[in-house]
Amino acid sequence: MKIAFHGAAQGVTGSCHLLDCGGKRILVDCGMYQGGRELVEDNANDFGFDPASVDYLLLTHAHLDHCGRIPLLTNRGFRGEIITTAASRELARLVMMDSAGLQEEEARYRNRRARRRGRAEEFQPLYTTLDTFNAMENFGRKARHGQPLQLAPGIRATFFDAGHILGSASILLELEEDGDTRRVVFSGDLGLGGRPILRDPVMPPQADVVVMETTYGDRPHKELQPSVEELYDAINATVKRGGNVVIPTFALERAQEILYYLHAGKEQGILPEFLQVFLDSPMAISATEIFKRHPECYDAQTADLFRTGQDPFLFRGLHFTRETAESMAINQVAGGAVIMAGSGMCTGGRVRHHLKHNLGREHSSVIFVGYAAQGTLARRIVDGARSVDIFGEEYAVRAQIYTIGGFSAHAGQAELLAWHGHTGNPEVTFLVHGERDSMAAFGSMLRNTRVEMPQLHQEFSL
Ligand SMILES: [Zn+2]
């Protein structure tokens, strides 16, 4: 038995781990590298293995950094079975289609620019919409939490709740080779207990080998309740001044979580009755519809809401604006509106139009509820720029800027430690999906296990 790490090795994106057992090859996740432009090449690089040789792909969840290279894998010969939960399958299709669309757009833009400069370069997208359709053909059985699936003689996989995003899972693999058995647990990305909408993460079973994420391996997560109150305060203060609130929004999970709190705030009379909320993101709207189709993922509280005829993603004053014309009409609203639009880091999408209209108004505000990577427009605003460039024009920043950090969908150090504790005394723990410092800090706290922080493409015998 062997395991090799072909992504998220000493970094937080590109998850891709390959197991060899009894002549079968099992890939866990096939994610995209995300960040600056230089990563385009990382994504196009060789996988480090032959895609045609892979028999099964188990997908932990539908974030781009876990599913984003699946169409490329299919393009390069993968014909195995992709297994994931029903919710993850739907979300993965949405995420891969969106990614393909963005890449096609980027390639068209680059080619136009190259032609204008008299160069004959031909930029190809990493994959196209059509490639994504082809990749969807490889999705096979649907995994249900807690129910083992037989992949091949001597190979069983059991998905269990990771509490991170809709459909997310950790995975236990029970492997047998020449009378030798190994229990290997992959954490996937782990969420936090006590959050709304989704069920809490399930603690893992005992294992011989653990592969776990370490995004926040070196710090505690922020408390949620103060963040919710901060959100309400910021909205109320802005409405009082007569301005609008712009919330750059991540389409998956974060958008639905914020809708949930806006709904609750209105119900409890914390937010004004007349407040208008626009979800101005076709992708976030589609994701919200997928949420509604998967009550099997809800926690008891959210399930109860739906059972009594309430819908936390629907309330008076909420508008879903899919069409561009509807989106542009929002600009006529002078005050009293919350505008949620993508992208979360303001690198593209409709949010840039809303920033253009509201950044210069001191009555308005922009609320950042997610991570803003270095080099993005979101980061420049968060860091206090007096003016920013949008579509080649300079706009003064006079609006109030808020950064609220408690809405993260990742477990903090204490939760990661508790999770690892349930695996017993594993022979070896592989740390992945974390920056080096975070990984090292977390690794130094683990007892009764050998800790490895694999290099890209490094292989280990199990
Ligand atoms: Zn994730």
* 86-120 per-position pLDDT tens digit: 999 999 999 999 999 988 988 898 899 899 999 87
* pLDDT tens, position by position, 408-451: 888 999 999 999 999 999 999 999 998 889 999 999 999 999 99
For 115-125, how does the pLDDT look when each residue is reduced to its tens digit (9 = 90+)? Answer: 999 987 788 89
Specify the pLDDT at position 410: 87
Q: Is the pLDDT of residue 38 over 60?
A: no
% of the chain surpassing 70 pLDDT: 99
Task: Provide the residue type at 336 as one letter.
Answer: G
3-state secondary structure of 139: strand
CA–centroid distance, residue 433 to ligand 1 (Å): 10
Tell me how far CA of residue 230 lies from CA of 111, 227, 270, 278, 416, in angstroms. 45, 5, 12, 20, 26
pLDDT at residue 318, as a whole number: 97
Kindly compute the dihedral angle of the four CA atoms of residues 50, 54, 58, 62, in this order, to the nearest 10 degrees.
40
Ligand 1 ion: residues within 5 Å (CB): 63, 189
How far is the centre of ligand 1, averaged over its atoms, from the C-alpha of 164 (Å)? Answer: 7
Q: How far is the CA of 62 from the centre of ligand 1 (A)?
A: 7
| Average pLDDT for 298-311 | 91
- Predicted pLDDT at 373: 77
Whole-number Å distance, alpha carbon 191 to ligand 1 midpoint, is 9
Residue 36, pLDDT > 70, answer no
pLDDT tens digits, residue range 203-258? 999 999 999 999 889 988 888 999 999 999 999 999 999 999 999 998 888 999 99
| Ligand 1: centre distance to CA 186 (Å) | 13
Q: Which residues pair with 2 in a beta bridge?
A: 20, 461
pLDDT in tens, 148-182: 999 999 999 999 999 999 999 999 999 999 999 99
Gap from CA of 189 to ligand 1 centroid (Å): 5
Judged against a pLDDT cut of 90, whether residue 352 lies above it is answered with yes
CA 11 to ligand 1 center in whole angstroms: 13
Q: What residues contact 178, with CB distance under 8 A and at least 6 apart?
A: none
Q: What is the pLDDT of residue 37?
A: 56
pLDDT tens digit string along 314-346? 999 999 999 999 999 999 998 999 999 998 889
User: What would you measure as the largest C-alpha separation in the chain, in angstroms?
Assistant: 72
For position 378, what pLDDT does the model report? 93
Whole-number pLDDT of residue 376: 86
Instruction: Dump pLDDT digits (tens) for 375-393.
Output: 889 999 999 999 999 989 9
Q: What is the 89 CA–ligand 1 centroid distance (Å)?
A: 14
CA–CA distance, 154 with 177 (Å, rounded to integer): 7
- Let me know: does 71 contact 96? Beta carbons within 8 Å: yes
Task: State the Cα–Cα distance between residues 306 and 294, nearest whole angstrom.
Answer: 11
